[in-house]
């Protein structure tokens, strides 16, 4: 291990059979983790935290004393039975490939507002560009959080804070045409017209419909928020990579694949942990298969 000094902070570690920290923290489901030493630093539940490895264990360090570790255990999912979830996947070749190439990949349980804001900004952007937008919003508008050794970092800005800005301030964070959408979403949440926490108790379809009532939130962004921020494990976001993966791996002979057909397949084929399966397909496609596929692979031509 080679992390930051703990100072007056605390250290905790968990025995975890398989956990791919890099694929999970940098793989396009969260956008705020930065490399530090042999691990990553970020802000979770309003606390600075460093996450890395200690041999076979996943380790977390805080800058300040903490009374419990539930907030980061839940975020990382270090107590969850990954093998048990993978065992619920359908036994098919595409998933066998994806599981073999992404061993230890997991789903994070993120803050719902942060997930909504980040994925609202994700439209037609690469992961590195989303990270840059998020970094700018954090640096310019995020609340200060005490870091290690006297450093100060910033949390992702609250809905209340973003709702107080004007469109220009968000465009200055490189949001482009997404700026007015994020501003309206921030206002809806800040004014209590949309209570994200309440959505957890709704059926998937109803929670999705509520999210899609926001301008700029379509099916894909809604499913990201449901899966990464609200704990709906069957939500299955279909972006360009997942569409390519499904087309190439499951429908190699289809000449055309409508969104409706993809949707029905994803809802029925993958089981209770469909969202996790989606993340395996996404990561596998983006990191291993992307270059070989070249352009236009969504239609399954050979």
Q: Which of 216, 226, 273, 289 binds DNA (CB under 7 A)?
A: 216
Maximum distance among all Cα pairs of the chain, rounded to whole angstroms: 61
What whole-number distance in Å separates Cα of residue 132 and Cα of residue 118?
A: 11
Q: Which of 58, 278, 284, 300 binds DNA (CB under 7 A)?
A: 278
CB of 86 to DNA, least distance (A): 17
Mark 29-58 with x for binding to DNA (rule: CB under 7 A) and - for no binding.
x-----------------------------
What whole-number distance in Å separates Cα of residue 154 and Cα of residue 144?
A: 5
User: Which CB sits closer to DNA, 68 or 260?
Assistant: 260
What whole-number distance in Å separates Cα of residue 179 and Cα of residue 173?
A: 9
Q: 50 and 2 in contact (C-beta within 8 Å)?
A: no
- Contact between 238 and DNA per CB under 7 A: yes
- Contact between 258 and DNA per CB under 7 A: yes
What whole-number distance in Å separates Cα of residue 27 and Cα of residue 57?
A: 20
Mark 99-138 with x for binding to DNA (rule: CB under 7 A) and - for no binding.
--------------------x--xxxxxxxxx-x------
What whole-number distance in Å separates Cα of residue 167 and Cα of residue 176?
A: 10
- Contact between 301 and DNA per CB under 7 A: no
121 φψ region: left (φ > 0), alpha (ψ -120 to 50), beta (else): alpha
Interacting span for DNA (CB under 7 A) from 37-45, 84-92, 109-117, 216-224: 216-224
CB of 147 to DNA, least distance (A): 26
CB of 79 to DNA, least distance (A): 22
> Which residues share a beta bridge with 140?
none
User: Which CB sits closer to DNA, 104 or 146?
Assistant: 104
CB of 25 to DNA, least distance (A): 12
Rg over alpha carbons for the chain, rounded to the nearest Å, is 19
Mark 139-168 with x for binding to DNA (rule: CB under 7 A) and - for no binding.
------------------------------
Mark 165-184 with x for binding to DNA (rule: CB under 7 A) and - for no binding.
------x--x-xx-------
Contacts of 223 (CB under 8 A, 6+ apart): 208, 235, 236, 237, 238
- Contact between 230 and DNA per CB under 7 A: no
Say how many residues touch DNA, by CB under 7 A: 45
Residue 252: exposed, middle, or buried by beta-carbon count in 10 A (0-12, 13-18, 19+)? Answer: exposed
- Contact between 266 and DNA per CB under 7 A: no
Here the contacts of 87-94 (C-beta below 8 Å, separation 24 or greater) are 88/271, 88/272, 88/273, 89/270, 89/271, 89/273, 89/277, 90/269, 90/270, 90/271, 92/250, 93/249, 94/245, 94/249, 94/250, 94/281
Q: Which of 37, 46, 90, 218 binds DNA (CB under 7 A)?
A: 218
Q: 232 and 204 in contact (C-beta within 8 Å)?
A: yes
Interacting span for DNA (CB under 7 A) from 53-61, 77-85, 95-103, 207-215: 207-215
Which residues are near DNA by CB under 7 A?
27-29, 119, 122-130, 132, 171, 174, 176-177, 212, 214-222, 224, 237-242, 256, 258-260, 278-279, 282, 286, 295-296
């Amino acid at each position: 291990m080679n992390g930051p000094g703990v100072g007056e902070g605390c250290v905790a570690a968990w025995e975890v059979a398989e956990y791919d920290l890099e694929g999970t923290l940098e793989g396009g489901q969260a956008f705020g983790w930065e490399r530090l030493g042999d691990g990553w630093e970020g802000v979770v539940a309003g606390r600075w935290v460093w996450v890395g490895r200690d041999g076979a264990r996943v380790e977390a360090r805080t800058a300040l004393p903490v009374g419990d570790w539930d907030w980061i255990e839940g975020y990382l999912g270090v107590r969850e039975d990954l093998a048990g979830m993978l065992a619920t996947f359908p036994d098919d070749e595409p998933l066998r490939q994806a599981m073999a190439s992404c061993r230890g990949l997991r789903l994070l349980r993120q803050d719902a507002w942060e997930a909504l804001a980040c994925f609202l900004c994700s439209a037609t952007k690469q992961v590195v560009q989303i990270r840059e937008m998020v970094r700018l919003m954090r640096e310019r508008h995020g609340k200060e959080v005490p870091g290690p050794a006297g450093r100060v970092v910033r949390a992702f800005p609250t809905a209340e804070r973003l709702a107080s800005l004007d469109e220009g301030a968000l465009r200055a964070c490189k949001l482009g045409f997404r700026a007015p959408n994020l501003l309206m979403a921030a206002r809806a949440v800040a004014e209590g017209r949309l209570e994200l926490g309440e959505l957890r108790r709704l059926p998937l379809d109803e929670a999705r419909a509520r999210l899609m009532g926001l301008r700029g939130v379509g099916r894909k962004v809604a499913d990201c928020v449901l899966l990464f921020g609200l704990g709906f494990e069957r939500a299955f976001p279909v972006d360009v990579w997942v569409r390519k993966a499904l087309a190439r791996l499951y429908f190699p002979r289809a000449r055309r694949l409508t969104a409706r057909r993809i949707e029905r397949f994803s809802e029925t084929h993958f089981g209770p942990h469909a969202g996790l399966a989606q993340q395996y397909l996404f990561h596998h496609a983006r990191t291993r298969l992307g270059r070989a596929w070249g352009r236009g692979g969504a239609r399954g031509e050979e």
